[in-house]
Amino acid sequence: MRGPGDQRRRGRGSGREAETRAAAVEAKQDAATAFYDMDQAQKYIDGRVTVLTDLDQVAGAAARRDFDRLNNTADAASIGYIDIVDAHDLDSPDRSVAEYDAARRAFLAVGDRLRKITDDLNRFAERLVPQMARLETALDQLPPRLAAARDAVAAAEAAIATAQKAGMDASDPEAELAKAKEGLALLGSQGLGGLGLSGAMDKADEVARIAARAQEAAEELPRLGEKVRNSVASVRTRVDVVARRVESVRQAMKKLLVGYSQACWQDLKGAPEAIEDGVTRARERLNEASALLSQNEWKRAQQALTAARTELNAADRRAGQVTGRVTQLDAARTDPTAPAEAARFVVRDAQKLAIAQPGGPAPQHARVLDGLVERLEAAPKRLTGSHPDYWSYLQELEAIKTAAGDVVARIRAERAAGP
């Protein structure tokens, strides 16, 4: 007797079997081509999405999310294709016509699926074309910006080297240059440095700006030295001027002590000594600046000069307070009504503005102005006794003027804001 295997072997050479096997082989080859086409499309799009992400991180992230969904579908189809190839060995001698036909249908189905996914991938690639074209056009702008940044760094390096050879302290320009080099290294180490196209161009422009500042600062060093030298001479002259004011301040203080109550000069006590001390400290800072100039340490010399100016300003301001106080007090003692009338004029001006408002003065403004009028009437009462406190009197009048000015400012602000 013959078994089923004998039947298959006996029919293998029949025309029907050969025709069915050839159809299955052709379907397998078509599926293999579809699989290759899909795999190539996957790889191509993955590369384009990577480039897109480098150029524009936001657009790249969105494209990557969409592509990942297609890519997962393609990977699943690839696994299905491989499973079918493993399940249908067309070279086996034990295949029947039915098995060849089943293989043919399986390969046709998977081939159709692979081609459909490839079509989806290609359509996705087409959607990327406008974005890529826009970015690649913009990408043409990056090389000249990078070149400008490198040129700026090189120019700054040359300027700093020149300053250092002349014995100048170029630490500040060097610090700026270090920042520029760091930014340039970021752009050069990883393509766009993870910044995207826009970020890379901005970084290149920033590098150029920082390097230009470093170059300018290095080139300014010789001019800074001359500027500081001139300033030292100018400040030294001013020191002498302020020092000569000490005697006039002493005389003014004596006048205050003899002619006015303690309340009028208590806050100025010790002013001559304070001015002398300030002048002494200013001279010390000037001498320090001169020593630093001889060592070409322009920055430290500038700092010492600034400190000298600060001391002088304080001393000069203190001297002005003393002499100005005498002038104010003398004027108030000669005619106490003059400062009161000046304050009254300011208050009346504020009252006129308040009354001119639609509906008359606002209650809050009226209350303040009425209070200021009462303070004006009471101010002369401060001038009592054998040694009136003229300073308290003048301060009160000044406070009244300030408060009236505040009311005017509020009214104008409310008018500007509208209803």
Q: pLDDT at residue 22 above 60?
A: yes
* pLDDT tens track for 100-159: 888 888 888 888 898 999 888 888 888 877 777 766 666 666 677 778 888 888 998 988
Q: What whole-number distance in Å separates Cα of residue 181 and Cα of residue 137?
A: 27
CB 72 within 8 A of CB 46: no
* pLDDT tens track for 238-268: 999 999 999 999 999 999 999 998 999 999 9
CB-hemisphere CA count at 13 Å for 120? 16
- CB 265: neighbour CB atoms within 10 A? 21
Residue 117 φ/ψ, nearest 5 degrees? -65, -40
Q: pLDDT at residue 57 above 80?
A: no
Residue with tokens 């408060």: 403
**310: three-class secondary structure by DSSP:** helix
* Chain center to CA of 35: 51
Residue with tokens 């002494």: 280
Q: pLDDT at residue 321 above 90?
A: yes
Q: Which two three-digit tokens encode residue 57?
A: 């991180």
Q: In this predicted structure, which of 6-15, 243-252, 274-283 has the lowest mean pLDDT?
A: 6-15
Question: Considering only CA atoms, which of 92, 113, 114 is closest in space to residue 103?
Answer: 92
The pLDDT of residue 78: 86
* pLDDT tens track for 168-188: 778 889 999 899 888 888 876
Please give the share of the chain, as a percent, with pLDDT higher than 90: 40
> Going by C-beta distance under 8 Å and a sequence separation of 6 or more, which residues neighbour residue 261?
387, 388, 389
**191: three-class secondary structure by DSSP:** coil
Q: Which two three-digit tokens encode residue 92?
A: 């086996």
Q: Where are the domains of the chain?
A: 4-139, 142-220, 231-333, 337-417
CB 12 within 8 A of CB 92: no
> Going by C-beta distance under 8 Å and a sequence separation of 6 or more, which residues neighbour residue 239?
279, 282, 283, 286, 308, 312
> Going by C-beta distance under 8 Å and a sequence separation of 6 or more, which residues neighbour residue 87?
106
**164: three-class secondary structure by DSSP:** helix
Q: What whole-number distance in Å separates Cα of residue 184 and Cα of residue 149?
A: 7
* Chain center to CA of 335: 58
pLDDT range class, residue 2, cuts 50, 70, 90: very low
Question: Considering only CA atoms, which of 335, 412, 411, 404 is closest in space to residue 376?
Answer: 404
pLDDT mean over 387-411: 94
Rounded to whole angstroms, what are the CA distances from 208 to 55, 60, 212, 241, 383?
21, 28, 6, 46, 68
